[in-house]
């Protein structure tokens, strides 16, 4: 009986070791950062015409280790309410009244994801929040840019978010095309 139990333990331990083998988390875990996003909805959204155009008053970013400034995380963008609106007058007036001359602030703590090759104008995307008049909305920034901490940084992007308070949008997202540049 004692020999049978020892044999049973040996078989059980062997089976456990074999079943756990090859699950080294450092090599098999999917790499979550910089993931390539392939979604036809993104391409369709990016083809839509922007409602507003503006420049970032300021923006903050961080460079990723091993990247040469072509790809970076934008952590915050501050935009003036003084943007050009290209939509019809009624929509522009409703947006202007809602913003009330206050700044819009996009912030994100997420790492960028790469966008499929079909969108060469915007190679990266980041999810974050847009704050307007103390209210926060989920938004996505699609952008392209270059930056380094020593000399300068720039980006060009589209910020897209739902703004249900603006009835003239008719359920469509607000699309703001923006640019930012800074020199040290």
Q: Which two tokens stand for residue 112?
A: 């960028």
Element (H, E) at 154: strand 152-161
Q: Please give the structure tokens belonging to residue 130.
A: 């847009």
**DSSP 8-state symbol, 167:** G
Look at residues 167, 149, 140, 123 and name the one whose alpha carbon lies nearest to residue 60. Answer: 149
| pLDDT values of the chain reduced to their tens digit, one per residue, 184 residues | 555 545 445 545 544 444 444 444 333 333 334 444 555 677 777 888 999 999 999 999 887 766 565 678 899 999 999 999 999 999 999 999 999 999 999 999 988 888 765 566 888 899 999 999 999 999 999 999 887 766 688 999 999 999 999 999 999 999 999 999 987 6
Residue 68 DSSP label = -
Between CA 98 and CA 93 the distance in angstroms is: 9
How long is the chain? 184
């Amino acid at each position: 009986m004692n020999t049978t139990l020892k044999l049973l333990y040996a078989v059980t331990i062997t089976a456990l070791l074999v079943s756990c083998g090859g699950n080294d988390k450092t090599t098999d875990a999917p790499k979550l950062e910089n993931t390539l996003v392939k979604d036809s909805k993104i391409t369709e959204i990016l083809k839509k015409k922007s409602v507003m155009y503006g420049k970032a008053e300021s923006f903050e970013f961080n460079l990723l280790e091993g990247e040469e400034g072509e790809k970076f995380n934008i952590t915050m963008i501050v935009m003036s309410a003084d943007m050009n609106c290209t939509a019809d007058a009624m929509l522009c007036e409703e947006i202007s009244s809602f913003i009330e001359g206050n700044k819009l602030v996009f912030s994100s703590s997420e790492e960028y994801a790469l966008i499929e090759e079909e969108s060469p104008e915007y190679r990266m995307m980041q999810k974050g929040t847009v704050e307007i008049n103390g209210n926060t909305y989920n938004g996505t920034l699609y952008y392209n840019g270059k930056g380094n901490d020593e000399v300068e940084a720039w980006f060009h992007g589209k910020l897209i978010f739902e703004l249900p308070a603006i009835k003239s949008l008719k359920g469509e997202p607000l699309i703001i095309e923006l640019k930012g540049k800074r020199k040290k």
